[in-house]
């Protein structure tokens, strides 16, 4: 007698090909619309499924996991970050957690460079003038930005994405510096032509551009706080494609408004979709709606990893991308 299919609940719409393959392999419940599930719906899903496939928009905290019941055995996250999932509580309840690391490295690094270029070269201001039919022609002093080559880039977090940013920045002629929890091996530093700073304060004070590429953990919450932001040079800019909580958004907004920091490129925000309205008013800020991973190729590869994690679990093995608390 064939083994019954795993019951899988997906919390958001995924690429059609991913949904089709999930449906072929498992007893899957897909979403009809692309709105986030309510907490009530999440609890219901976690009680009825063997596997939950959430995304970054689902807050899977300890209270929610406590209501999951005994059936749920795997949370196969569609995404690399798992700061929205209480992995420790899940582990205590015997629920495995997996994610999709690695597939979004290049996409996010590309977006980091796009934001860096957009801020330094004042691209949004140029776009706004063109789209409002306000351009009167070329002028010697119009839209003067800053040259990218030769600038010092300080990367905060030198994991996969940080290293991918470093390689791209070097191709643009930037000087690469970094601060990381652990120093890279000498041969990696040499290959990246990257200079390590043990002191984050000292690095921040000397950089022309700061790129945030570290995960959200208790130790990185407001790592770029008001005191540290004040160390930045007035002509420096900051770019964040990682997690909004790493920067004190209110402090950053105040300093951008007062001219203490020259500009910012942000793809993530401290309060999720609730962006500080004062940020929207500033011409020296480029705001994007969490687009760092938004490529068709990346989203497909994320789905493929989710499927592999679930299938491996269904076959009685540890998911290849299992997350354990010690990894966080």
Question: Residue-wise pLDDT tens for the chain (328 aa)?
Answer: 678 899 999 999 999 999 999 999 999 999 998 899 999 999 999 999 999 999 999 999 999 999 998 999 999 999 988 989 999 999 999 999 999 999 999 999 999 999 999 999 999 999 999 999 999 999 999 999 999 999 999 999 999 999 999 999 999 999 999 999 999 999 999 999 999 999 999 999 999 999 999 988 889 999 999 999 999 999 999 999 999 999 999 999 999 999 999 999 999 999 988 999 999 999 999 999 999 999 999 999 999 999 999 999 999 999 999 998 755 4
Q: In 3D, which of 263, 18, 291 has the Cα closest to residue 123? A: 263
| pLDDT for the residue 325 | 74
Query: What gap in Å lies between CA 155 and CA 210, rounded to an integer?
Result: 6
| pLDDT for the residue 60 | 96
Q: In 3D, which of 62, 88, 104, 105 has the Cα closest to residue 301? A: 104
Asked if residues 237 and 262 have their Cβ atoms less than 8 Å apart, the reply is yes
Q: What CATH number should be reported for the domain whose range is 7-103+295-327?
A: 3.40.50.720
| pLDDT for the residue 69 | 85
The reported pTM is 0.90
Of the candidate CATH numbers 3.40.50.720, 1.10.3720.10, 3.90.320.10, 3.40.640.10, the domain formed by 105-287 belongs to 3.40.50.720
| pLDDT for the residue 1 | 64
| pLDDT for the residue 185 | 97
Query: What gap in Å lies between CA 212 and CA 6, rounded to an integer?
Result: 39
* Domain positions in the chain: 7-103+295-327, 105-287
Residue 125 phi, psi (nearest 5): -65, -40
Question: CB-based contacts of 234: which residues, under 8 Å, 6+ apart?
Answer: 259, 260, 261, 262
Q: In 3D, which of 226, 223, 221, 240 has the Cα closest to residue 162? A: 240
Q: Is there a shared CATH topology between the 7-103+295-327 domain and the 105-287 domain?
A: yes
Instruction: Give the containing element (helix H, strand E) for 238.
Output: strand 237-240
Asked if residues 312 and 96 have their Cβ atoms less than 8 Å apart, the reply is no
């Amino acid at each position: 007698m064939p083994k019954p299919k795993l019951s899988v609940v997906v919390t958001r719409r995924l690429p059609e090909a991913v949904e089709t393959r999930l449906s072929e392999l498992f007893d899957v419940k897909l979403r009809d619309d692309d709105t986030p599930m309510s907490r009530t719906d999440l609890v219901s899903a976690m009680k009825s499924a063997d596997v939950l496939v959430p995304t970054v928009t689902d807050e899977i905290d300890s209270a929610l996991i406590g209501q999951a019941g005994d059936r749920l055995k795997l949370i196969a996250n569609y995404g690399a970050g798992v700061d929205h999932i209480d992995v420790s509580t899940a582990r205590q309840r015997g629920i495995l957690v997996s994610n999709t690391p690695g597939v979004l490295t290049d996409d996010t690094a590309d977006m980091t460079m796009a934001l860096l270029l957009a801020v330094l070269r004042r691209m949004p201001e140029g776009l706004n003038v063109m789209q409002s039919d306000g351009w009167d022609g070329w002028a010697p002093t119009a839209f003067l930005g800053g040259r990218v080559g030769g600038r010092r880039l300080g990367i905060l977090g030198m994991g996969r994405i940080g290293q991918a940013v470093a390689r791209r920045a070097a191709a643009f002629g930037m000087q690469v510096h970094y601060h990381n929890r652990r120093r890279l091996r000498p041969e990696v530093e040499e290959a990246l032509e990257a200079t390590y700073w043990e002191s984050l304060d000292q690095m921040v004070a000397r950089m022309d551009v700061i790129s945030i590429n570290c995960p959200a953990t208790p130790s990185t919450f407001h790592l770029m706080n008001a005191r540290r932001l004040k160390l930045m040079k007035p002509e420096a800019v900051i770019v964040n494609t990682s997690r909004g909580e790493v920067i004190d958004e209110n402090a950053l907004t105040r300093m951008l408004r007062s001219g203490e920091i020259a500009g910012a490129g942000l793809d993530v925000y401290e309060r999720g979709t609730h962006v500080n309205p004062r940020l929207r008013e500033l011409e020296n800020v480029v705001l994007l709606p969490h687009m760092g991973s938004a490529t068709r190729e990346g989203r497909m590869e994320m789905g493929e990893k989710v499927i592999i994690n679930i299938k491996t679990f269904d076959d009685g093995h540890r998911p290849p991308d299992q997350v354990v608390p010690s990894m966080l």
